[in-house]
Amino acid sequence: MTAPLVLQGRRALVTGASRNLGAAVARALAAEGARVALNFRQSASEAHEVLDSLTGSGHLLVAGDVGTVLGADAVVAEVERSAGLVDVLVNNAGPFSMTPYLQLDPEEFDAIWKANLRSVYLVTRRVAPGMLAAGWGRIINISAGSAFVRNHSVYSLAKEAVITLTEQLALELGPAVTVNCVAPGQIAESAEEMSRIDPDFVNTVMSRTPAGRLVTRAEVAGIVVALCSTTFDMVTGVTIAVDGGGHLPVA
């Protein structure tokens, strides 16, 4: 006999799902039976490719900027209209920046903060009432290893704030809804892209990682799915660093 699917019959919304980690999370949720709504802001063609790759049926694409009130409300409203109330929310949207603060344009600060942190608040604010009414919900916020360092500018600031917001939401939304956070370290598939920004970064991370390698997108997505399972019913307000121990302080 095959094991029952973890998310059979559940409806999931993944923000920033047109590529990279968001796409991997969407595939993992669909593989466990969820009907997945893929949110994207600009990358329509990439989002369609992800949609076509999902296991199962009934998945949908929802365009919109979830960092704005109107955008977040419109995205959730479309999901509810097309699929029903959201059971699982993965707040994954969020571009990267490591521009030093004294060189950082205020508009870039606002854009990074809005996409990485404000979107978590706005989308959660919109879906949480339905989860509470249903008596069940799972919210997983994607932070980053950058939350544990101090040289990634406003991105570090926003990703650390996501951890604090996760803890606060866990207190507000329990017991029906669990709210957890996943903080991936440098992801293997994105190492080349990161090296173009900082040529020394990947080697530095590898030298400080007890596991001796970088984490993969599939491994991070697996943690997201696990947090939706009954095994993790008593886990809320927690941040899981998925980085092979790379965040540990080195003397």
Q: Give the Cα-Cα-Cα angle 5, 228, 183 (nearest 5 degrees).
A: 130
Distance CA(105)–CA(69), nearest Å, equals 23
- Give dist(CA 223, CA 216) in Å, integer: 11
* Confidence at residue 194, expressed as pLDDT on a 0 to 100 scale: 83
Find the DSSP H helices in the chain.
20-31, 44-53, 69-82, 106-113, 119-134, 153-173, 191-197, 201-207, 217-227
HSE at residue 37, side-chain half, CA atoms within 13 A, is: 26
What is the average pLDDT value for the chain, to the nearest integer? 95
Distance CA 162, CA 167 (A): 9
pLDDT of residue 242: 97
Mean pLDDT score, 13-31? 97
Could you give the domains of the chain? 11-242 (3.40.50.720)
The question of whether 121 is a catalytic residue gets the answer no
pLDDT at 124: 98
Answer whether residue 40 shows pLDDT above 90: yes
Position 2 scores a pLDDT of 61
Answer yes or no: is pLDDT of 251 > 80.
no
Tens digits of residue pLDDT in 155-210 = 999 999 999 999 999 999 999 999 999 999 999 998 888 888 888 888 888 888 99
Would you state the pLDDT for residue 7?
A: 97
Q: Is the pLDDT of residue 214 over 80?
A: yes
How much is the average pLDDT of 135-140?
A: 98
pLDDT band at 217 (very low <50, low <70, confident <90, very high): very high
Which of 2-16, 63-77, 151-165 bottoms out in mean pLDDT, i.e. has the lowest?
2-16
99 pLDDT exceeds 80? yes
With tokens 């207190």, the residue in question is 171
| Residue 144 scores a pLDDT above 90 | yes
Q: Show Cβ contacts of residue 96 under 8 Å, excluding neighbours closer than 6 positions.
A: 146, 152, 155, 197
Predicted confidence at residue 4, as pLDDT, reads: 82
pLDDT score at 196: 85
> What's the rounded mean pLDDT across residues 120-138?
98
| pTM, entire model | 0.96
126 — pLDDT class (breaks 50, 70, 90): very high
pLDDT beyond 70 at 20: yes
Supply 115's token pair: 């996409």
From 38, 59, 155, 209, active-site residue: 155
